[in-house]
Structure 1
Amino acid sequence: MSNLFKFLPSVDLVLTKLESDDSLTDVPRTLTRDLVNGFLDVCREEIKAGIITAEDQLSLDSLYPRLTCHVRAGARPHFRRVLNGTGVVVHTNLGRSLLADTAVKAVTEACATYSNLEFDLSTGERGSRYSHVEKIICDITGAEAALVVNNNASAVLIILETLAAGREAVVSRGQLVEIGGSFRIPDVMTKSGAILHEVGATNRTHPHDYEAAINENTALLMKVHTSNFRIIGFTKEVTGAELVEIGTKHDLPVYEDLGSGNLSNFSGLGLMREPTVQEVVSEGVDVVSFSGDKVLGGPQAGIIVGKKKYIDMIKKNPLNRVLRIDKMTLAALEATMRLYLDPETAMAQVPTLKMIMEKPESLKLRAQSLSRVLGRVVGDDITCSVREGVSRVGGGAFPEQDLKTFLVTVVPTGDMSVPELKERLLSSDYPLVGRIEDDAFCLDPRTLTQTEYHMVADSILQALNLSN
């Protein structure tokens, strides 16, 4: 065994051969060297384990197919494209909402050219980055003023720190939510310096609960929209309008955290009704915050709208500098909001809205098309069929509510199990994510574009160790 080590090819010899491989010319030499060293270390371990037992197994020609696969895999960007076959439209782990074409173009231009990010073209003097989006957000929502920070968690933090630091914020016990990543309203409130004052019961809170809680140390009445769970049965919730009436009576601002911002009417889909930002603003709520990258379908952002008096206070908070958005977010958000100036245009061009609104009959045709592509490209190594299924909106919106869809089911005909197929698809050039139901790997065309169908087929081919 010890004699086999000397037959391993040298690093320089391997590098020289790799340099002639056109598919690897873009890989930096230092990275390639590290990957080659790692591959040769694997070979040494295989010699020790008795997996490699002969000299001819160590020739560069014998090792080269494995070696190039190792280098290509190691040279891939860690952050890369994934094919979403799950049917979850706003998939938190897969990047949430896809941007509209106009937003993508705006981001590209913002990255590639200089811009008037903080430059007033009318005066030639320094300007405000928020001026690019504030008016259009106000026009769409009906608010007096607006501010944008880097996400809605930041929006909650800066609002509470500005309006209630060192004083009490009154919140219903049933609204002390936790969202993904263990983000909890009480924890953020503590970090902001605001003092939590819980009122009501988990399932029922009344206006008189807020009234009874107000004292000389009360700074804010807060409402949190429970977008990612439901309490059903014997329930009661205080409306925004009722809170505004109490706030006006006691000269206290009312703040509502909407979570996933919704500017659209999804009637006709069988979904429970979600309040729109416009409706909440029209109730007179003083400050409203929501996400830009969920149901709204824009970039990650925390959008704050409301009465100018309070928005101006939040703008002056030093945290605003810490939490401000960059030029790419500004470009994408302005382009997305412009589409909302005409609701029909938004429905047609914002990918998130298009996917949510797509009709089952259209999805059935697309599932059949995907199944045909898989049949032609992959062939008899899998069996495919189309059946009814459900999609989800995701992103904490419309929890536990289904959208009717049609799924393409994939089952390997060989020795590979369905769970193994699912796992191996994550290592393909274009990782494919789906779900297992009824002993089949299921793909939902709702979250796959037709241009991705052949990519899906190629990923399955790779997972099955086949070639085109």
Structure 2
Amino acid sequence: MTVRPPSAASRALLRLLPKVDLVADDARLTTASQQLGRATVMVLARRAVDDARARLLSDGREPSLDAVVAAVNAEVEALFASRARRVINATGVILHTNLGRAPLGQAVVQALADSAVGYTSIELDLNTGKRGQRAAFAHRALALLTGAPAALVVNNNAAAVLLVLTALAQGRGVVVSRGEQVEIGGGFRVPEVLQRSGARMIEVGTTNRTRLSDYARALDENDDVAVLLRVHRGNFRQTGFVARPDLTALAQLARARGVLLVKDLGGGALVDLAPFGLHGEPLARACVAAGVHLTCFSSDKVLGGPQGGVVVGASDLVARVARDPLARALRLGRLPLVALEATLTAYLAGEFQQVPALCAIQTPIDQVRTRVEGWCARLRAAGVEAQPQAIVAAVGGGTLAEEPLHSVAAAIRCARPSALAARLRCGEPAVMARVHNDAVLLDGRSVRPDEASALMRAVIAAASAKDGG
């Protein structure tokens, strides 16, 4: 293809473009250069000049140094605005996926700091000086905590399910109920994960009712079935005319017919939440006891650790899954692994107070109310009208849907609650609150006790601003 040289008129226009180094050295970009270094500002300046050139040639719009410098500053602002920032979670959603799910305890933070500043024996046997097994402690701890013979950790639960199906069912049939073909956050759907694994999905039952006989019929009609897949419906609830077989009965059918039962547990509770009024989250240990061959779950949901996916179950099956080449691509990184080890250590010791997500779930409602009453008193003393209000919080993270978690919030009623909420989000530290019925609600359950002072300062500053409400 022949490229035409620019016309004389175009060349004359192009001479109007500011030089890249002139843009980068402009005094209005001094802060940007201090933040990013001149080399990066030069890259951004070159991009801005290129954009100005394209506009000039397309519509004859004459560029100006002011406009190009403003474009660079806008790029710098957008770059820093996209960074992950510390946020105080006052939404009442404890495992808020958009806020990183489970916060980590101080012992975990210390373990991360110790590991991050130096080297770690992540894959080294210090006794022999030879290569060791990665994640050996996490695997042993998870086996102890779930009653399973073996365990494996990867980088999230979707990866765990994908890996298990790839290793054990690729090219073969996987039976799944129509009522369990769920969609999780971000548009990821169980049928799509199953398809990606290379397995063939065999649907049984109906949306609301699936019987044991439906699974048996699928086994009779398909001689290539490798897995019966059971998916926990954590992010929604079916009620009314519904049915599905008992997990133990399904496990017995799988064993009798020589196929595997795999459970996608989702949340991954290691302790019973029923004493706190939450009854919808099955224990990983219960799945193992029911005879499930392999159970997959997240480590950053109700377990309260860092992002990760767990597979627990029969030793030979876990070993087969671990040997699959995909396992190497999905392995847990050093820092998440260190954080998971520290979290599991707290579980082994029974020190559940070291797990902030569990603390938030388990805090008695009277204690939450007392905390919020203290906030309201402090806010009123600063001229911010706030009153305690009973509300319903949520565990979140796609778990315990429709399970009420009673809480108390500081309700700030103002003329423009959305404006106040926006100021809180953009403050330092950022505060994520709820807006409901012309009030900004600060939930006392999801805010950590050590964040209270910072929260009060942020709210007072936001409320005292001219457009804060």
Cα deviation, residue 266, structure 1: 1.4
Kindly provide the amino acid, as one letter, of the partner of residue 88 in structure 1: V
Cα deviation, residue 342, structure 1: 3.6
1:118 paired to 2:120: no
Say whether the 8 Å CA contact 1:132–1:330 is kept in structure 2.
no
Kindly provide the amino acid, as one letter, of the partner of residue 85 in structure 1: A
Equivalent in the alignment of 1:303: 310
Kindly provide the amino acid, as one letter, of the partner of residue 390 in structure 2: E
**Where in structure 2 are the equivalents of 1:416-435 lying within 5 Å?**
417-435=416-434
1:243 paired to 2:250: yes
Equivalent in the alignment of 2:411: 409
Aligned in 2, Cα 1:191/1:399: closer, same or farther, shift over 3 Å?
same
**Where in structure 2 are the equivalents of 1:216-255 lying within 5 Å?**
216-255=223-262
- Supply the distance in 1 between the matched residues of 2:453 and 2:340 (Cα, whole angstroms): 31
1:133 paired to 2:141: no
1:399 paired to 2:406: no
1:353 paired to 2:361: no
- Supply the distance in 2 between the matched residues of 1:198 and 1:89 (Cα, whole angstroms): 34
**Where in structure 2 are the equivalents of 1:146-157 lying within 5 Å?**
146-157=151-162
Cα deviation, residue 366, structure 1: 0.4
After TM superposition, the structure 1 stretch with the greater mean CA deviation from structure 2, 403-412 or 354-363, is: 403-412
- Supply the distance in 2 between the matched residues of 1:185 and 1:33 (Cα, whole angstroms): 44
Say whether the 8 Å CA contact 1:168–1:220 is kept in structure 2.
yes
Aligned in 2, Cα 1:443/1:26: closer, same or farther, shift over 3 Å?
farther
Equivalent in the alignment of 2:168: 163
**Where in structure 2 are the equivalents of 1:311-326 lying within 5 Å?**
311-326=318-333
1:97-117 deviations in whole A, cap 9, x for unaligned?
Answer: 011211111111121111111
Cα deviation, residue 392, structure 1: 0.7
Aligned in 2, Cα 1:32/1:307: closer, same or farther, shift over 3 Å?
closer
Kindly provide the amino acid, as one letter, of the partner of residue 27 in structure 1: Q
Identity %: 37
Equivalent in the alignment of 2:192: 187
- Supply the distance in 1 between the matched residues of 2:28 and 2:334 (Cα, whole angstroms): 44
Say whether the 8 Å CA contact 1:255–1:287 is kept in structure 2.
yes
**Where in structure 2 are the equivalents of 1:279-290 lying within 5 Å?**
279-290=286-297
Kindly provide the amino acid, as one letter, of the partner of residue 272 in structure 1: H
Equivalent in the alignment of 2:373: 368
1:236-289 deviations in whole A, cap 9, x for unaligned?
Answer: 111221111111111111110101101111123322342100111011111000
1:49-93 deviations in whole A, cap 9, x for unaligned?
Answer: xxxxxxxxxxxxxxxxxxx9x999975671110111101110011
**Where in structure 2 are the equivalents of 1:325-344 lying within 5 Å?**
325-343=332-350
Equivalent in the alignment of 2:101: 96
Equivalent in the alignment of 1:257: 264
Cα deviation, residue 15, structure 1: 7.0
After TM superposition, the structure 1 stretch with the greater mean CA deviation from structure 2, 457-466 or 243-252, is: 457-466
1:84 paired to 2:83: no
1:212 paired to 2:217: yes
List alignment gaps of at least 5 residues for structure 1: 1-9, 19-23, 38-67
Aligned in 2, Cα 1:386/1:212: closer, same or farther, shift over 3 Å?
same
1:207-244 deviations in whole A, cap 9, x for unaligned?
Answer: 11111101311111111111111111111111221111
Aligned in 2, Cα 1:115/1:266: closer, same or farther, shift over 3 Å?
same
Equivalent in the alignment of 1:46: none
Aligned in 2, Cα 1:13/1:284: closer, same or farther, shift over 3 Å?
closer
Say whether the 8 Å CA contact 2:379–2:385 is kept in structure 1.
no
Kindly provide the amino acid, as one letter, of the partner of residue 400 in structure 2: F
- Supply the distance in 2 between the matched residues of 1:441 and 1:86 (Cα, whole angstroms): 10
After TM superposition, the structure 1 stretch with the greater mean CA deviation from structure 2, 310-319 or 416-425, is: 416-425
1:27 paired to 2:29: no
Kindly provide the amino acid, as one letter, of the partner of residue 268 in structure 1: P
- Supply the distance in 2 between the matched residues of 1:339 and 1:460 (Cα, whole angstroms): 34
Aligned in 2, Cα 1:175/1:33: closer, same or farther, shift over 3 Å?
closer
1:388 paired to 2:386: no
Say whether the 8 Å CA contact 1:31–1:75 is kept in structure 2.
no
Say whether the 8 Å CA contact 1:230–1:399 is kept in structure 2.
yes
- Supply the distance in 2 between the matched residues of 1:369 and 1:72 (Cα, whole angstroms): 37
1:449 paired to 2:451: no
Of residues 180, 185, 202, the one that matches 2:207 is 202
- Supply the distance in 1 between the matched residues of 2:345 and 2:398 (Cα, whole angstroms): 25
Kindly provide the amino acid, as one letter, of the partner of residue 144 in structure 1: P
Say whether the 8 Å CA contact 1:89–1:447 is kept in structure 2.
yes
- Supply the distance in 1 between the matched residues of 2:179 and 2:453 (Cα, whole angstroms): 47
Say whether the 8 Å CA contact 2:379–2:460 is kept in structure 1.
no
- Supply the distance in 1 between the matched residues of 2:385 and 2:393 (Cα, whole angstroms): 22
1:304-357 deviations in whole A, cap 9, x for unaligned?
Answer: 0000111111011000010001111111111111111144x12x2210100001
1:120-146 deviations in whole A, cap 9, x for unaligned?
Answer: 112211112121311111111111111
Say whether the 8 Å CA contact 2:416–2:438 is kept in structure 1.
no
Kindly provide the amino acid, as one letter, of the partner of residue 421 in structure 1: L
Aligned in 2, Cα 1:97/1:189: closer, same or farther, shift over 3 Å?
same
Q: Secondary structure at the match of 1:178?
A: coil
Kindly provide the amino acid, as one letter, of the partner of residue 210 in structure 2: T
Q: Secondary structure at the match of 1:446?
A: coil
Equivalent in the alignment of 1:459: 458
Q: Secondary structure at the match of 1:447?
A: coil
Kindly provide the amino acid, as one letter, of the partner of residue 388 in structure 2: V
Number of matched pairs: 416
- Supply the distance in 1 between the matched residues of 2:309 and 2:114 (Cα, whole angstroms): 23
- Supply the distance in 1 between the matched residues of 2:97 and 2:465 (Cα, whole angstroms): 32
Aligned in 2, Cα 1:390/1:11: closer, same or farther, shift over 3 Å?
same
Say whether the 8 Å CA contact 1:86–1:434 is kept in structure 2.
yes
Cα deviation, residue 14, structure 1: 5.8
Say whether the 8 Å CA contact 1:98–1:352 is kept in structure 2.
yes
Q: Secondary structure at the match of 2:229?
A: strand
Say whether the 8 Å CA contact 2:267–2:281 is kept in structure 1.
no
Say whether the 8 Å CA contact 2:234–2:398 is kept in structure 1.
yes
